[in-house]
Amino acid sequence: MALFGKPKYTIVRLKKKEIPDGLWTKCEECSETLYNKTLQENLMVCPKCNYHFTLGAYERINMLLDKDTFQEYDKDILPSDPLDFKGPKTYTDKLAQDQQLTGLKEAAVTGEGRLDNKKIIIAVTDSRFIMGSMGSVVGEKVTHATEIATKNRLPLIIVSGSGGGARMYEGMFSLMQMAKTSAALAYHHQEKLPFVSVLTNPTMAGVMASFAGLGDIIIAEPKALIGFTGPRVIEQTIRQKLPPGFQRSEFLLERGLIDMIVQRRDLKATLSQLLDYLS
The pLDDT tens digits for 158-169 are: 999 887 788 889
Q: What is the pLDDT of residue 155?
A: 97
Does residue 117 have a pLDDT over 70? yes
Cα–Cα distance between 76 and 82 in angstroms, integer? Answer: 18
| 178 backbone dihedrals φ, ψ, rounded to 5° | -60, -50
Report domain extents, the chain: 20-53, 55-278
Q: Checking phi first, is residue 192 left (phi over 0); if not, alpha (psi -120 to 50) or beta?
A: left
Architecture of domain 55-278: Alpha-Beta Complex (3.90)
Rounded to 10 degrees, what is the CA torsion of 157, 206, 183, 145? -40
**Stretch 232-241: mean pLDDT:** 83
pLDDT tens for each residue of 43-52: 888 888 877 8
Three-class DSSP category at 236? helix
Q: Is the pLDDT of residue 250 over 70?
A: yes
Closest C-alpha to 110, from 202, 45, 181, 204 = 181
